């Protein structure tokens, strides 16, 4: 006896998933570029293929039936696999080497995940990743020792209009004062600062903000590594100025000095920008575009399941 084989069409599943995620098949129609009735027909067809009712009416809208829930979970996996296969096949002609430069805080958060994912979809592309500070990354990019550098920039900063380079902004982050519970700020005493050695954008901002507010400060700890900075802050040696990116669990934003004087709230915003060479081979350029998209999703998407710790 043979089971009756029904084929699930990818485009029907995509419509179904889009509708469920948007909570409306009218909105799904807009997003997919079809009319609402076409979407309605597609869902009907999906129900015919599966032989079960996928949606139930609730008010003016539709909600998933229990079997619809099951299909939805499978559909996500099928679409994921479909997209991965297509991406892999399309990248078959990608071959070569991409030299990526990335700052320490970004590297700590997502570099392993980004590299793992790209190794999966582009096994033939060799990625050389270098973790270094802003200035060094840009020097290497200009010297053609890197193909792409992800760097911190001031919100208003305009990079030179160099036709040999392309720019793409990834995300913007606010800069905060960050300290630990153990940090002792003595009333009236200079604020102990934990900062990277110069040149450093966050260092410049912290010092300039305190100077502008007339708040005395002292350099309590410097380091050339971000790990060292966070360790010193966690140990309560002083406070630092950074974004929330990669902030350890033991530290938190600080707003006031013990005297009640607010810390300057003018640290402003910094922007993560990708600067890439415009003379990359097209295969490398295509790879870099995907790299940025993966990076973007890691930095701006919901946090991965890091366990319940």
Partner DNA sequence: CCTGGGGCGTCCTGTTCTTG
Partner DNA sequence: CAAGAACAGGACGCCCCAGG
Give the binding site for DNA (CB under 7 A): 9, 11, 19, 24-26, 33-38, 40-45, 55, 57, 59-62
Contact call for residues 162 and 224 (beta carbons, < 8 A): no
Nearer to DNA by C-beta: 20 or 229? 20
Contact call for residues 180 and 234 (beta carbons, < 8 A): yes
Least distance from C-beta 88 to DNA, angstroms? 24
Nearer to DNA by C-beta: 11 or 261? 11
Least distance from C-beta 199 to DNA, angstroms? 53
Least distance from C-beta 79 to DNA, angstroms? 16
Least distance from C-beta 28 to DNA, angstroms? 8
Which residues have CB under 8 Å from 76's CB, separation 6+? 17
Nearer to DNA by C-beta: 40 or 134? 40
Nearer to DNA by C-beta: 17 or 38? 38
Least distance from C-beta 15 to DNA, angstroms? 8
Nearer to DNA by C-beta: 12 or 180? 12
- Which CA distances in Å does 128 have to 46, 102, 149, 291? 45, 11, 12, 13
Least distance from C-beta 59 to DNA, angstroms? 4
Nearer to DNA by C-beta: 35 or 256? 35
Nearer to DNA by C-beta: 48 or 92? 48
Least distance from C-beta 72 to DNA, angstroms? 15
């Amino acid at each position: 006896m043979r089971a009756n084989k029904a084929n699930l069409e990818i485009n029907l599943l995509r419509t179904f998933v889009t509708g469920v995620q948007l909570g409306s098949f009218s909105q799904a129609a807009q997003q997919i570029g079809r009319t609402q009735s076409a979407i309605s027909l597609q869902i009907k067809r999906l129900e015919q293929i599966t032989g079960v009712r996928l949606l139930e009416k609730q008010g003016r809208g539709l909600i998933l039936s229990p079997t619809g829930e099951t299909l939805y979970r499978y559909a996500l996996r099928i679409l994921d696999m479909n997209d991965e296969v297509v991406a892999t096949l399309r990248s078959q002609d990608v071959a070569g080497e991409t030299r990526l430069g990335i700052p320490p805080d970004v590297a700590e958060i997502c570099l392993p995940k980004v590299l793992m994912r790209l190794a999966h979809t582009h096994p033939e592309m060799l990625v050389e990743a270098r973790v270094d500070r802003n200035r060094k990354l840009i020097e290497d990019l200009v010297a053609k020792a890197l193909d792409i550098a992800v760097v911190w920039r001031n919100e208003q900063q305009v990079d030179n209009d160099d036709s040999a380079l392309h720019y793409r902004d990834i995300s913007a982050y606010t800069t905060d004062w960050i300290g630990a519970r153990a940090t002792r700020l003595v009333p009236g005493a200079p604020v102990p600062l934990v900062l990277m050695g110069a040149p450093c954008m966050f260092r410049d901002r912290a010092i300039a903000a305190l100077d502008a507010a007339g708040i005395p400060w002292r350099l309590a700890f410097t380091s050339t590594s971000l790990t060292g900075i966070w360790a010193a802050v966690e140990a309560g040696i002083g406070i630092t100025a950074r974004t929330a990116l990669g902030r350890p669990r033991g530290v938190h934003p600080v707003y006031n000095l013990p005297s009640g004087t607010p810390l300057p709230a003018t640290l402003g915003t910094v922007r993560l920008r990708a600067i890439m060479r415009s003379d990359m081979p097209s295969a490398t350029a295509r790879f870099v575009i995907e790299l940025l998209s993966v990076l973007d999703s890691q930095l701006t998407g919901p946090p991965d399941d890091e366990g319940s710790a």
